C-alpha cells in the first residue's frame, strides 16, 4: 500500500518535544528561553542565539541554504524516530500549522501549499497557467535557475516567449526599478516573473507596487520569493501578487527540501496542479500539495523553524540581519580593490552583499575564504563572477571583521 502525503501527516507522531521550542536535553546544553525581540545591537542576545546552531566555521551562504537550529533538528529527528515505530503514531495538526504559517507570512487563509522548494513551486505555476504560443513572460537578466528554467522549458516546449531585461543594479529608489519593468513590458506580456530579492546582488524589488500595476493591466505576477521569508518581515497579502514561491530551507532555517507556494485565493481553482495525484481535482490549495508519499518529519521541522523565528521575533531578525549586511557593506567599501555590486542604498539592500575584487577572481576568493573555513557563494552565472556573502543571525560582528580582514589581505 502506498501512503499518500496526507496519510503520512495524519500518521505522524506528535510527541511533546515537537510542540514548542523545548528539545531533548543534551548534557551541558542550556535550557534558557530564547531572547525575545532583541535589539539589533544586543550582542549578548545574538551570541546566545548563535549557540543554537552547530555550524563549524563561518556560514556566509544562507542564500543557498540556512543552517537548522537545534530545535528544528531535534523536532525533525524525533519525529522521524517516532514515526519509524510504526505503531501508536498520532497525526500532526496540519490545519493548526497552516494557520501558524499563514500568520507568519501574512498570507490569506487557505492559500499556502507545502512543497519541496522554490524551483518546484515556480514550476507549478509555469505549468499551471494557460499560456499560448507568443505570450510573453518578462523577467530580468539576474534570475536564478530555480526561477528561470520553468519559463525556458515552456518557451522550448510550448512556444511562449521568455524575455529578459537588465535591471538597474544601483537604483536611486523603488521608482527606478518599477520604471525599468514598465519600460520592458509589451502588449504581449502576460506574466511578470519577479525575484523579490535578486539572488545575484540582494537588491529588494518593489513587488507590491509591481503587482498592483500589473494587475491594473491584466498581467499576472509570479514572485520568486526564495529569500525573503525568514529574512524580511513581509506581509504577503499586502504584496498581493498572484503567486509567491519560496524555499523555507534558506532564511527560515527549516530542514532541506522544504518550500511553499502561496496562491492568491482567486487563482487557486483555475491554476492547474503540476502533479496529478489524489487531490488534483480539489478546488482548494490541496490540489498543489498532494504529490504522493513525502516526508512528514520535514514538515514537523518546518513548524519548529517557524516557532523558533517567532520566539525571537520576525522584525528583530530582519533588523539584525540587515544591519549586519550594512556593517559588512561599509567595511568592504574601505578595501580599495573591492567593487561592490549590491545597492548603495541600505533601504534596497537585503542581507546579502556581492562584490568583486580587482586582481583576482570569484573562484580564487571563494577558495581563499574556504581555506579559512568560511562558506560563501560565487555568483558565476552569466559570468557575473561576484562573491556573495549572506549575513543571517548566526553571523556576529566579529565574524564580519575577521572575514573583511582576510579579504583585505587577499592574494
Beta bridge partners of 375: 59
Using the minimum distance from each CB to ligand PLP, give the nearer residue, 38 or 318: 318
What is the rounded CA–CA span in Å between residue 117 and residue 120? 6
What is the rounded CA–CA span in Å between residue 55 and residue 50? 9
What is the rounded CA–CA span in Å between residue 242 and residue 245? 10
Shortest distance, CB of residue 228 to ligand PLP, whole angstroms?
Answer: 10
Shortest distance, CB of residue 150 to ligand PLP, whole angstroms?
Answer: 10
DSSP summary character for residue 187: T
Shortest distance, CB of residue 246 to ligand PLP, whole angstroms?
Answer: 8
Torsion of CA 178, 179, 184, 188, to 10 degrees: 70
The residue at minimum Cβ distance from ligand PLP is 146
Shortest distance, CB of residue 15 to ligand PLP, whole angstroms?
Answer: 28
Using the minimum distance from each CB to ligand PLP, give the nearer residue, 38 or 343: 343
Using the minimum distance from each CB to ligand PLP, give the nearer residue, 198 or 263: 198
What is the rounded CA–CA span in Å between residue 199 and residue 208? 19
Using the minimum distance from each CB to ligand PLP, give the nearer residue, 208 or 226: 226
Kindly provide the residue ranges of all beta strands, DSSP E only, lying in 292-385, ordered along the sequence: 338-340, 352-357, 374-375, 377-379
Alpha-carbon distances, residue 336 vs 26, 340, 398, 409, 410 (angstroms): 47, 11, 21, 11, 12
Task: Answer for the pair 300, 9: CB distance below 8 angstroms, yes or no.
Answer: no
Shortest distance, CB of residue 281 to ligand PLP, whole angstroms?
Answer: 26
Shortest distance, CB of residue 144 to ligand PLP, whole angstroms?
Answer: 3
Q: Helices (H) and strands (E) in the chain — how many of each?
A: 15, 13
Shortest distance, CB of residue 64 to ligand PLP, whole angstroms?
Answer: 5
Neighbours of 269 (CB within 10 A): 12
Task: Answer for the pair 261, 125: CB distance below 8 angstroms, yes or no.
Answer: yes
Which residues of the shown chain bind ligand PLP in the complex (CB under 6 A)?
Answer: 63-64, 117-119, 144, 146-147, 195, 199, 224, 226, 247, 259
Using the minimum distance from each CB to ligand PLP, give the nearer residue, 138 or 316: 138
Alpha-carbon distances, residue 280 vs 114, 128, 275 (angstroms): 15, 12, 7
Using the minimum distance from each CB to ligand PLP, give the nearer residue, 19 or 64: 64
Using the minimum distance from each CB to ligand PLP, give the nearer residue, 309 or 390: 390
Amino acid at each position: 500500500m502506498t501512503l499518500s502525503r496526507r496519510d503520512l501527516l495524519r500518521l505522524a507522531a506528535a510527541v511533546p518535544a515537537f510542540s514548542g521550542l523545548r528539545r531533548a536535553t543534551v548534557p551541558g546544553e542550556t535550557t534558557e528561553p530564547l531572547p525575545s525581540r532583541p535589539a539589533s545591537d544586543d550582542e549578548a542576545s545574538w551570541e546566545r542565539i548563535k549557540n543554537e546552531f552547530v555550524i563549524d566555521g563561518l556560514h556566509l551562504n544562507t542564500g543557498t541554504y540556512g543552517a537548522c537550529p537545534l530545535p528544528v533538528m531535534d523536532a525533525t529527528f524525533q519525529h522521524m524516530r517516532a514515526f519509524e515505530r510504526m505503531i501508536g503514531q498520532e497525526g500532526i495538526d496540519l490545519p493548526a500549522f497552516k494557520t501558524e504559517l499563514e500568520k507568519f507570512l501574512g498570507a490569506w487563509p487557505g492559500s499556502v501549499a507545502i512543497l519541496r522548494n522554490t524551483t518546484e513551486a515556480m514550476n507549478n505555476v509555469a505549468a499551471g497557467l494557460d499560456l499560448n504560443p507568443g505570450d510573453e513572460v518578462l523577467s530580468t537578466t539576474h534570475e536564478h535557475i530555480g526561477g528561470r528554467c520553468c519559463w525556458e522549458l515552456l518557451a522550448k516546449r510550448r512556444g511562449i516567449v521568455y524575455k529578459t531585461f537588465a535591471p538597474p543594479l544601483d537604483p536611486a529608489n523603488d521608482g527606478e526599478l518599477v520604471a525599468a519593468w514598465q519600460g520592458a513590458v509589451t502588449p504581449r506580456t502576460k506574466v511578470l516573473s519577479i525575484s523579490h530579492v535578486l539572488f545575484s546582488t540582494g537588491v529588494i524589488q518593489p513587488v507590491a507596487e509591481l503587482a498592483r500595476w500589473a494587475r491594473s493591466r491584466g498581467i499576472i505576477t509570479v514572485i520568486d520569493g526564495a529569500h525573503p521569508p525568514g529574512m524580511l518581515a513581509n506581509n504577503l497579502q499586502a504584496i498581493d501578487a498572484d503567486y509567491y514561491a519560496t524555499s523555507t530551507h534558506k532564511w527560515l532555517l527549516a530542514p532541506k527540501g522544504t518550500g511553499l507556494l502561496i496562491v492568491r485565493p482567486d487563482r487557486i481553482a483555475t491554476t492547474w496542479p503540476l502533479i496529478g495525484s489524489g487531490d488534483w481535482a480539489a478546488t482548494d490549495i490541496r490540489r498543489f500539495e498532494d504529490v504522493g508519499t513525502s516526508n512528514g518529519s520535514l514538515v514537523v521541522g518546518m513548524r519548529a523553524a517557524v516557532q523558533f523565528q517567532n520566539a525571537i521575533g520576525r522584525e528583530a531578525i530582519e533588523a539584525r540581519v540587515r544591519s549586519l549586511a550594512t556593517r559588512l557593506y561599509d567595511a568592504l567599501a574601505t578595501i580599495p580593490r573591492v567593487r561592490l555590486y549590491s545597492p548603495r542604498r541600505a533601504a534596497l539592500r537585503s542581507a546579502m552583499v556581492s562584490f568583486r575584487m580587482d586582481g583576482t577572481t570569484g573562484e580564487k576568493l571563494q577558495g581563499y575564504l574556504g581555506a579559512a573555513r568560511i562558506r560563501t557563494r560565487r555568483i558565476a552565472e552569466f559570468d557575473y563572477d561576484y562573491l556573495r556573502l549572506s549575513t543571517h543571525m548566526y553571523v556576529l560582528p566579529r565574524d564580519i571583521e575577521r572575514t573583511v580582514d582576510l579579504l583585505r589581505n587577499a592574494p
